[in-house]
Every structure is written in C-alpha cells, then in structure tokens.
C-alpha cells in the first residue's frame, strides 16, 4: 500500500506482543504475526487488541488507533505493529531520541549504527541516548525515528506520522527499505495493565500534503495541551534572542564574568531579551541552592542586576541529575533511583565525573525540587529556567510504568514547578513530551571553536574518576 493516510483504513497489520501475568507464572508469553484489521479484533484469554482509523481534527488527516484491553492483570514487555508499504523514492526523517540527538533525513542507502561498545565503555555516552533499550541494527536501509517522522518524495509530498500516545511509552517508527515495511514500535517494557483496563497504546496522526510541513505540524501540535507560558498565537513575544554563558565560558562562569558581559550588552545596546547563566554557579550537581564562591554576592543579587538591565534572567538547572560527589547523594541516597537487581543507584551519565538519577516519585525529593524552583523563580527572581539532562528521570522502567510514561510524568512535574508565569527551556529531553509544555527547547549538541577528539574525552573521564575516588577516600 502507499503512505497515504486513507490506505490505513483497510491496512493489514501484523502485530508482535509479549507480556507476562502479574498474578501467576513468571514466564513471558510471546505472540507473533497476529493479523489485525479494522473491525476485526484479536482476543485470547489475556488480551484483546483492536485497531481503527478515525478522522483527525483537520478532517483531511487520520488518526490510527491500536487499543489494548487486559483481560487479566498484565505486565507488557514488547509491542510492534508492522505494515507493508511502498518506500521506493522516499527519504525518511530519522529523529533522534532526545533534543540534542541527531535528526536528519535518510534513505535506502543509509543506516543508523549502534554506539561502539568500546566508546560506550570509555565514555558512557550510551546513557545519553536510547542505545541500551532500542536496537540500532546498523544495516543499510533500516531507518528509525523517535516519536514522529515523515517520508518525503521528489515532489516534496510529505507523509507524516506523529505519535499521540507517548504517555504510555516511547514510540519508534521503523522503516525497512529493503523489504518495504514500516513498523510502529512501542517501548512498553514494565508497563502494568490492570484487569479490565483499556488503553490506546498506539495513537498516531497520519497526514499528507505537498509543501505542507507547516499545516501538518499545526495539526499535530493541536493535540497537545498548551501549558506554555507563551500560549497560542503569541508568536511575536515567543521569538526572542539572548545571551548564555555556556558556549563561551562553559563551567568557568563567575559573577565577575556575568556582570562584565551584562555591562557590555548594555553599553553596546544589544537588543536581547534573555540573559541566562548556565552550569558553574553551584557547588555540586544536585546541590542547587548551595552557591559556590565564584558568586560571592549570591544569585538573587545577580538576578536583580539582570532584571534591572531590562532582560529576563535565566538560570540553568538539571533537576533530575545528582552528582556522585554531591551532598544530596551523600545525605539522601533514598532519593535516588535504585536498580532493582543491584540495589545500587542508577547511573544516568558521565558528566561532572558521573551523576545519578533523582527519583521523581519520592515524596521528599519532590518537595526538595519544589523548594529549589520556588527559590530560583520566586525568591531570587529568575524569569526562565533552562532544564537540562531531563532524560535522567526515566533511565529504567519501574513502579509499573514504562520509560516513556515516567518521562511524561517528569515533564509534567517540572512544568507544574515552573508555573504558568515563567519560561521553561527544555534540554536533553525527548521532544514529544515537551511539545507545548516547554516554551523552548535547545536542539543540537554542544559546539566549540576547537576539536576535542576521543583521546581528550577519555583523559577527561579518567581524571574525573581519579578525583571521585580521592574524594571518597
């Protein structure tokens, strides 16, 4: 069949699903190549699966739904629905896992390799992506995209697929150009369903048009509740520019540097809106209210200076990251996400010598984050927070929730903490859960006017590990 939305009305899907009973045998049940058609549900003693296609908000697009009903209490392990489609002459958008992951169009001659095991071992950069839970085959013609994708032909006809069910699990669109198949894969590992519970596990906007990117994206966005500080059509207010300490000073920022740059911007009358202080003000990652001696006057004083200059003051935080050597990790190990197998804190990344993941469902940890946000935004007077490494909240499935479900909850929580009157810039966040929740997102990797290279990265990690061991001693 073609990629046109209407063809999915009569499409035949082949579904693979695996699960286990929550109240019964521990073994995993795998069902493969279930034939699924609209109006013809599949049912066994544990699960019912049905699919349908309905009109979208704009009437010209479609919504593809696949519903799962648990006839017994289940824990989902795997779900994928495959379709035969004609992919010749198409280029596919391969959207990376989170906001600084790579995104570009690929075709039948391209491939997406996995991270090399030696690189993962030496750098732990695998933790910043989806390499540990989603297969990167590295085969030519096997392309995947996270949360949404489009196919583009030589006439610039866009065939768009956008997930509307990320709250149940990360969605991946997989294309096999060699065999003309497209799959919708859901990362549902660990997702609990109660007996009798029904969810729209797959809900995808299907849209198509020539030179129609803007119209399609407007339709897609309309399905997400608008929780931004700048809502709806406030385009003029939303289009801003600003200054950030990160790309010039990285972690070496100081009060003196901030104030000198602030004065320069005023003296030269640069027309910026936002002046944002990035990483480097705190004594440790996670100890957000403990300000280091590079800011002797404190951040309230600095924020007042920025505001009085006519700019919105912004501050960087990584709310779900807790540095190995932080006071928070030492004093509140129960606030950290625990690996159920090792009973040790889950490592979420290599930065700053390594950091753990904060448990966003821990009552005391939530109260701590509320205090941090209230202090930064309402006591110190910052008008924007740049929230980084947000993916750390959802490193593993737990508490009956999939990774994507936890990530959705985590984004909702920081939006609640930020409030409707302050700006939120997301960073290191899977993008679909940030749609119309974050006011802005940073996309793309860090840049600098030099090439660091693998040797320098390995040396930096080795030195950080030595420092951590020395401090622990």
pLDDT band at 472 (very low <50, low <70, confident <90, very high): very low
- CB atoms under 10 Å from CB of 473, counted, come to 5
Tell me the β-bridge partners of 48. Answer: 43, 69
Question: Which pLDDT belongs to residue 466?
Answer: 38
CA angle in degrees (0–180, nearest 5) for 279-282-285: 75
pTM: predicted TM-score of the whole model, two decimal places:
0.93
Helix axis angle for 299-308 and 255-267, nearest 10°, is 0
Local confidence band at 26 (pLDDT 50, 70, 90 cut-offs): confident
| CA–CA distances in Å: residue 339 to residues 114, 190, 359, 397, 409 | 24, 14, 11, 10, 19
Strand partners, 205: 63, 162
pLDDT, residue 446, reads 79
Q: What is the pLDDT of residues 94-132, one digit of tens each?
A: 999 999 999 999 999 999 999 999 999 999 999 999 999
| CA distance linking residue 220 with residue 205, whole number of Å | 7
Find, among 319, 336, 354, 329, the residue nearest to 427 by Cα: 319
Residue 24 has pLDDT above 80, yes or no: yes
Q: Choose the weakest-confidence range: 176-185, 230-239, 286-295, 397-406.
A: 230-239
Q: What is the pLDDT of residue 445?
A: 79
Which DSSP string do the residues of 31-89 spell out, in sequence order?
EEEEEEBTTB-EE-SSEEEEEEEEE-TTSSSEEEEEEEEESS-EEEEEEEEEEE---TT
Tokens representing residue 470 in the block? 């020395």
Task: Quick: pLDDT tens for 415-460.
Answer: 999 999 999 999 999 999 999 999 999 988 777 666 666 555 554 5
pLDDT digits (tens, 9 = 90+) for 279-327: 999 999 999 999 999 999 999 999 999 999 999 999 999 999 999 999 9
Locate tokens 């409707």: which residue?
A: 420
pLDDT of residue 208: 96
Distance CA 168, CA 25 (A): 24
- Worst-scoring range by mean pLDDT, 149-163, 283-297, 362-376, 457-471? 457-471
In the prediction, which pLDDT does 462 show?
A: 44
| Mean pLDDT in residue range 352-356 | 97
Give me the pLDDT at residue 86, please.
97
Which has the closest alpha carbon to 115: 103, 127, 104, 106? 127
| Residue 39: pLDDT over 80 | yes
Beta-bridged to residue 161, according to DSSP, are 149, 206
pLDDT of 225: 93
């Amino acid at each position: 069949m073609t990629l046109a939305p209407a063809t999915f009305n009569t499409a035949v899907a082949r579904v693979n699903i695996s699960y286990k009973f929550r109240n019964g045998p521990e073994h995993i049940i795998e069902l493969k190549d279930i034939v699924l058609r609209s109006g013809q549900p599949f049912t066994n003693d544990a699960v019912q699966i049905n699919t349908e296609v309905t009109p979208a908000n704009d009437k010209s697009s479609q919504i593809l739904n696949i519903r799962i009903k648990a006839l017994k209490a289940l824990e989902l392990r795997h779900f994928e629905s495959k379709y035969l489609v004609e992919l010749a002459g198409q280029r596919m958008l391969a959207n990376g896992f989170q906001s600084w992951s790579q995104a570009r169009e690929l075709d039948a001659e391209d491939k997406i390799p996995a991270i090399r095991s030696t690189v993962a071992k030496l750098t732990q950069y695998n933790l910043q992506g989806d390499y540990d839970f989603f297969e990167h085959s590295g085969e030519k013609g096997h392309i995947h995209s996270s949360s949404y994708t489009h196919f583009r032909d030589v006439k610039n006809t866009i065939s768009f697929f956008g997930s509307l069910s990320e709250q149940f699990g990360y969605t991946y669109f997989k294309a096999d150009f060699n065999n003309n198949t497209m799959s919708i894969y859901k990362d549902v590992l660990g997702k609990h369903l109660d007996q009798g519970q029904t969810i729209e596990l797959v809900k995808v906007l299907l849209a198509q048009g020539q030179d129609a990117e803007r119209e399609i994206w407007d339709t897609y966005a309309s399905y997400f509740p608008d929780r931004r500080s700048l809502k709806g059509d406030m385009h003029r207010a939303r289009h801003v520019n600003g200054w950030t300490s990160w790309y010039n000073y990285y972690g070496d920022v100081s009060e003196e540097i901030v104030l000198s740059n602030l004065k320069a911007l005023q003296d030269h009358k640069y027309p910026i809106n936002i002046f944002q202080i990035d990483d480097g003000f705190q004594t440790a990652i996670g100890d957000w209210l403990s300000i280091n001696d590079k800011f002797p006057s404190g951040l309230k004083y600095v924020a007042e200076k920025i505001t009085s200059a006519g700019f919105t003051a912004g501050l960087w935080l990584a709310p779900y990251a807790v540095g190995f050597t932080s006071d928070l990790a030492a004093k509140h190990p129960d606030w950290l996400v625990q690996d159920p197998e090792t009973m040790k804190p889950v490592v979420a990344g290599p930065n700053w010598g390594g950091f753990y993941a904060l448990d966003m469902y821990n009552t005391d940890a939530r109260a701590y984050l509320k205090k941090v946000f209230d202090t930064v935004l309402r006591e110190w007077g910052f008008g924007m927070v740049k929230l980084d490494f947000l993916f750390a909240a959802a490193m593993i499935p737990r508490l009956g929730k999939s990774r994507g479900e936890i990530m959705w909850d985590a984004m909702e929580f920081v939006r609640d903490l930020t409030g409707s009157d302050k700006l939120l810039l997301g960073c290191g966040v899977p993008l679909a859960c940030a749609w119309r929740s974050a006011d802005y997102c940073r996309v793309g990797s860090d840049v600098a006017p030099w090439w660091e290279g693998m040797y320098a990265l390995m040396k930096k990690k080795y030195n950080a590990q030595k420092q951590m061991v020395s401090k622990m001693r």
